[in-house]
Amino acid sequence: MFNTPLPTVNELPNSRQLVRSTVIALLTAVGLLVTVVMPSEYAIDPTGVGRALGLTQMGELKITLAQEALADAAPPQPVAAAPALQVAQVQPAAKPVAEPVVAAPASKTDQMTVTLKPGEGTEIKLEMLKNTTVSYEWTTAGGPVNYDTHGEPYKAEKGYFHSYTKGKQVKGDKGEFTAIFDGTHGWFWRNRSNSDVTISLKTTGDYLSVKQ
């Protein structure tokens, strides 16, 4: 049996060396947090290193997958019953008062194409005002996709959205919807196949702009 000799006082690190080691370890931990952990987990990349290494894209994908899972698990929202129509007699005014006219956005048509790699997801959103309507049709080439047609109001709480329609493993959809609030309304697609899928979208309606 061998006994290991204890280190002498001279062999032990002094206070200055301990402080220096502690500062180096702390700076290393902060550097890893900012350049690796925050981009890969929360898609927060203040330095730009995470995007260069592909970590920020990983964080964005995790957030998108979480939103998609939340949308799949959300129960269908009940449709509010229409209020009963009440008829009241109105006395004619002595002088008619002209009501202000609010200009509606001009109708427009756009065609867009986007290609998704296996496992990739993307969104195309229309900026719309409440009670404006858009007609749409989209098709896929290369395989089916999962989709969710939904809207988010301006300054919405994190995670809040209204789903109009959604489906899994489909090759297209067409129809129209009316915005129930001012905000962004559109489509999210996810390619769950093993090959690239190209989506072609055509929209016609009273929307303000297109965001992709």
Q: How many domains does the chain have?
A: 2
Report the helix count and the strand count for the chain, using DSSP H and E: 4, 9
What CATH number is given to the structural domain containing 160? 2.60.120.680
Note whether 40 and 133 are same-domain residues: no
Do 121 and 207 fall within a single domain?
yes
Residues 55 and 112 in one domain: no
**Which domain covers residue 46, as residue numbers?**
15-73
Q: Which two tokens stand for residue 190?
A: 């996810």
Give per-residue pLDDT as tens, 7-28.
665 666 777 877 888 888 888 8
Residue 89 lies in a domain: no
CA distance 190 to 106: 31
If asked whether residues 116 and 207 sit together in one domain, one would say: yes
114 and 69 within one domain: no
Place of tokens 């489509």: 187
* 176-203 per-position pLDDT tens digit: 999 999 999 999 999 999 999 999 999 9
> 143 lies in a domain?
yes
- What pTM value is reported for the model? 0.51
Asked whether residue 120 falls in the same domain as residue 64, the answer is no
> Quick check: is 86 in a domain?
no
